[in-house]
Amino acid sequence: MKSHQTIKSRTSFITVVDDVVIKKMRDIENAPDEAERLKRLGSLLKEERDTDGWRYNCAKLLKVELATGRLFMTRASGISLAQELSASRAYRAGRWLAAFQEGGRTSDGRVPVFGDFGPNHVFIDGTSKAVTVIDPGVEIGTRGSIETDVGYMLSSLVLYSLRRRRNPWRIGRAFVDGVITSRAGSIRRQRLREVLSDTRRQTERRWKRKLPYGSAVFAIVPYRIIDRFVTASLLWTLSFSELSSDERSMPTDVN
Ligand SMILES: Nc1ncnc2c1ncn2[C@@H]1O[C@H](COP(=O)(O)OP(=O)(O)OP(=O)(O)O)[C@@H](O)[C@H]1O
Ligand SMILES: [Mg+2]
């Protein structure tokens, strides 16, 4: 057994031991809910295989140790979209979301919500052609609109792209292409616009809490302008696309 690294987050300590990940909750009382969310994700996502051979999975709960607040789960293969951001990888995150949503679509057109669908929770392994998603949010399994998770990811992708000096339009567009390729439902622009502005407000609130006043203003003003501009122009391209077309092809920078 070899321990690779320990990642500290606000709510947990993550240790990777070979192919197992141990998540120790800082507050051990949170372990049962955390385990429940992972189980719910597992039951919602039937391992899906795409027509081009890619597989869409999630981290699987192996064991919960209530006394120590530790969860044992399978390790996601590959690296997260946050660690390596590219259009083809963003496209795969979109394909994963489409598989997850379509697998649980109800007769009234609603889909299961993931809840915290950000680039740090989507692992992509180009070698074994697998996408594995970790750490569902508190909303996991509730039924909602397609745009809830799409908007959250899109907003995070714009932010990550700007930080990493990547092209936010290309990355955002590739993700949306993944979501809308060969699926039943299409994206509603108005609903997506609402989710995007809610997410922008949450990001700004978080920065205001975290940063000193001067830096918060310095960060928020350009972010608000750029994010609005990027997301508005992305939404504009949606109005000219066949939203449920399955003829859209994958971006070329495959890795
Ligand atoms: N099953 C897993 N496979 C591979 N890496 C993992 C796994 N679970 C967690 N990690 C790594 O640990 C990081 C934090 O994990 P996770 O998101 O579950 O914890 P968290 O406490 O919710 O942290 P955050 O608040 O940053 O989201 C992930 O971004 C990922 O790099
Ligand atoms: Mg997390």
CATH of the domain at 8: 3.30.200.20
Of ligand 1's listed atoms, the one at least distance from the Cα of 120 is: 29
Is 247 within the bounds of a domain?
A: no
Phi, psi of 63 (to 5 degrees): -165, 150
One domain for residues 150 and 25 = no
Q: In what order do the strands lie in the sheet with 3-8?
A: 3-8, 12-17, 20-25, 70-74, 61-65
Ligand 1 centre distance from Cα of residue 244 (Å) = 33
Q: What is the pLDDT of residue 129?
A: 97
Same domain, residue pair 108 and 67: no
213 in the same domain as 118:
yes
Question: Is 199 a pocket residue for ligand 1 (Cβ < 6 Å)?
Answer: no
Tell whether 96 and 204 lie within a shared domain: yes
Strand partners, 30: none
pLDDT in tens, 159-193: 999 989 999 999 999 999 999 886 766 888 889 99
The larger pLDDT score, comparing residue 119 to residue 104, is at 119
Q: Which residues pair with 18 in a beta bridge?
A: none
Give DSSP secondary structure letters for 141-156.
T-EE-HHHHHHHHHHH
Q: How far is the CA of 190 from the centre of ligand 1 (A)?
A: 32
pTM for the model: 0.90
**216 close to 175: Cβ distance less than 8 angstroms:** no
Q: What is the pLDDT of residue 2?
A: 57
Residue 96 resides in a domain = yes
Residues 31 and 118 in one domain: no
- Helix ranges, the chain (H): 31-44, 87-103, 146-163, 168-180, 189-210, 213-239
Tell me the CA–centroid distance for residue 137 and ligand 2, in Å: 8
Q: Are residues 119 and 193 in the same domain?
A: yes
Query: Ligand 1 atom closest to Cα of 83?
Result: 31
Residue 83: which H helix or E strand, with range?
Answer: none
Tell me how many domains the chain contains: 2
Q: Is residue 52 part of a domain?
A: no
State whether 10 and 109 are in the same domain.
Answer: no
251 belongs to a structural domain: no
> What is the rounded distance in angstroms from the CA atom of residue 206 to the CA atom of residue 210?
6
Q: Which atom of ligand 1 is nearest to the CA of 82?
A: 29
Structure-derived torsion over alpha carbons of residues 191, 196, 198, 199, reported in degrees to the nearest 10: 140
176 plus 221 within the same structural domain: yes
Q: Probe ligand 1: pick from 14, 25, 71, 131, max atoms within 8 Å of CB?
A: 14
d(CA 36, CA 163): 34
Range scoring the smallest mean pLDDT among 35-39, 47-51, 119-123: 47-51
- Are residues 112 and 197 located together in one domain of the fold? yes
In a domain, 252, yes or no: no
Task: Report d(CA 214, CA 226) in Å as an integer.
Answer: 19
User: Are both 64 and 153 inside the same structural domain?
Assistant: no
Domain boundary among 74, 109, 131: 74
pLDDT tens digits for range 197-252: 999 999 999 988 988 888 888 888 888 899 999 988 888 887 655 444 433 444 44
Residue range 97-107, pLDDT digits in tens? 999 999 999 98
236: Cβ contacts below 8 Å, ≥ 6 apart:
none
User: Does a structural domain hold residue 118?
Assistant: yes
CB 93 within 8 A of CB 149: no
Whether 23 maps to a domain, the answer reads yes
Examine the domain organization and report whether 68 and 90 are in the same domain.
no
67 and 86 share one domain: no
* Residue 30 lies inside a defined structural domain of this protein: yes
| Domain limits for position 217 | 79-239
Q: What is the Cα–Cα distance from 149 to 101, expressed in whole angstroms?
A: 10
